[in-house]
Amino acid sequence: MKSEIDQFRAMVRSVIAAEILPHIDQWEADGVFPAHELFPKLAQHGLLGLGFDPEDGGEGAPMEYQMVLSEELGRGNAAGVSMAINVQMHMATPSLAKFGSEELKETYLRPAIRGEHVAAIAVTEPDAGSDVAAITTRAVRDGDDWIITGAKTYITNATQADWFCMLVRTSDEGGYRGMSQIIVPAGTPGFEVVRKLDKLGNRSSDTAELRLDSVRVPVTNTIGEIGRGFQQQMGQFIIERLSACFSIAGSAEWALGRPATICNCARCSGRRSLPVSTPCSSSPSFLPTSSCSRR
Ligand SMILES: Cc1cc2nc3c(=O)[nH]c(=O)nc-3n(C[C@H](O)[C@H](O)[C@H](O)COP(=O)(O)OP(=O)(O)OC[C@H]3O[C@@H](n4cnc5c(N)ncnc54)[C@H](O)[C@@H]3O)c2cc1C
């Protein structure tokens, strides 16, 4: 009898085979996948809420279940979609789940777990990539509001996102001090998705530049403690990195299995397309049959 986690893996694999793999080549060509259509389908199986508290609509599942999902998403040509899901579950929402007020969780987290909202994480800026402490986007307090001005770039899910978990400066302390995580809803006046970037790889995941010109959001949109944004963000990066590692392991396993699959296809159609002696009997059973028709 299969263990619970093997049953979970089989379920994930069948959902990906049904909902993602048949469309992925088209989505890669289009340069975007329909997140608002796909995410509710994944949420129906509980996949967007695996690690979250049941009180927030999550599954309260152990970390290994999240990593099985990441590994399975890494298989096939689906890295763009995998990245978008990683952002939704492991980059834009963990701080909100851990430090967010009840009101913020109700407005933003629970709809994201249900797949109704697409979420994005906005840290990187034109002059601040690896060095997060170099960000300059600034929020100035005006009564009960923040007024945010600056720019972000390379933001995944940006053209489809309903809201952004944004790291900004909220004081003049400099360095890693004086930053805060603030939720900026898409469509707030002064907020603009400037352009979608045309990438070589992971094309199905939309990546864009943002501009903020005196964007006014309530101070209550701050996640956790004002001034602790850098520390909260570093915590939020941890699960994302872990998830990316498992996803890459899934990709590597899938890629290693491909020569055997192509060899199998060539034999089926009576031709030899590869000068390899890979034993066809080792063709991995986890590959969806649709991959046989691929180049
Ligand atoms: C497809 C894609 C999607 C992304 N999605 C998001 C997103 O959703 N949200 C977001 O905020 N950001 C996102 N990013 C941005 C990503 O986090 C940054 O690209 C990353 O932080 C690196 O920053 P950079 O590109 O400016 O490179 P740089 O920081 O300029 O680094 C360039 C090179 O220098 C090396 N380097 C940098 N600093 C040092 C050092 N001190 N010592 C030695 N080597 C160093 C780096 O390892 C790298 O090889 C995305 C990027 C890509 C490509």
For the segment 40-57, the average pLDDT, to the nearest whole number, is 97
* CB 236 less than 6 A from any atom of ligand 1: no
* CB 129 less than 6 A from any atom of ligand 1: yes
Evaluate whether 4-117+236-251 and 119-235 have a shared fold: no
Question: Hey, which of 28, 81, 130 would you mutate to test ligand 1's pocket, going by the most ligand atoms within 8 Å of its Cβ?
Answer: 130
Residue 189 has pLDDT above 60, yes or no: yes
| Residue 213 confidence (pLDDT) | 98
Q: Which residue has the tokens 């805060």?
A: 180
For ligand 1, atom 38, the nearest C-alpha belongs to: 130
| Third-level CATH fold of 119-235 | Butyryl-CoA Dehydrogenase, subunit A; domain 2 (2.40.110)
**Angstrom distance (rounded) from CA 223 to CA 181:** 5
Which of 59, 71, 240, 253 is an active site residue?
Answer: 240
**97-126 pLDDT tens trace:** 999 999 999 999 999 999 999 999 999 999
Please tell me the CATH code under which domain 4-117+236-251 is placed. Answer: 1.10.540.10
For ligand 1, atom 51, the nearest C-alpha belongs to: 154
- CA 258 to chain centroid: 26
Residue 286 has pLDDT above 50, yes or no: no
| Residue 243 confidence (pLDDT) | 94
For ligand 1, atom 33, the nearest C-alpha belongs to: 130
**245-285 pLDDT tens trace:** 999 999 999 988 887 666 666 555 565 555 444 444 444 44
Contact criterion met (CB below 8 Å) for 5 and 68: yes
Say whether 38 sits in a helix, a strand or coil: helix
In the chain, the percentage of residues whose pLDDT exceeds 90 is: 82
154 C-alpha to ligand 1 centroid (Å): 9
Domain boundaries, the chain: 4-117+236-251, 119-235, 259-293
**Angstrom distance (rounded) from CA 184 to CA 191:** 9
| Residue 22 confidence (pLDDT) | 95
**Angstrom distance (rounded) from CA 47 to CA 63:** 13
For the segment 152-179, the average pLDDT, to the nearest whole number, is 97
DSSP code for 106: I
* CB 202 less than 6 A from any atom of ligand 1: yes
Pick left, alpha or beta for residue 214 (phi over 0 → left; psi -120 to 50 → alpha; otherwise beta). Answer: left
* Helical residues (DSSP H) of 45-204, grouped into ranges: 63-74, 79-86, 94-99, 102-104, 110-113
How far are the Cα atoms of 54, 80, 195, 294 from residue 280, in angstroms, in the given order?
45, 29, 46, 17
pLDDT level of residue 162 (50, 70, 90 thresholds): very high
Say whether 50 sits in a helix, a strand or coil: coil
**Arithmetic mean of pLDDT over the chain:** 90
Whole-model pTM: value is 0.89
Residue 72 has pLDDT above 70, yes or no: yes
Cα angle 21, 69, 167; round to 5: 105
Question: Hey, which of 123, 154, 156, 210 would you mutate to test ligand 1's pocket, going by the most ligand atoms within 8 Å of its Cβ?
Answer: 154
Contact criterion met (CB below 8 Å) for 47 and 15: yes
Cα angle 236, 238, 242; round to 5: 130
130 C-alpha to ligand 1 centroid (Å): 5
Token pair belonging to 139: 């929020």
Tally the residues of the chain: 295
**Angstrom distance (rounded) from CA 293 to CA 272:** 15
Q: Would you call 240 a catalytic residue per the annotation?
A: yes
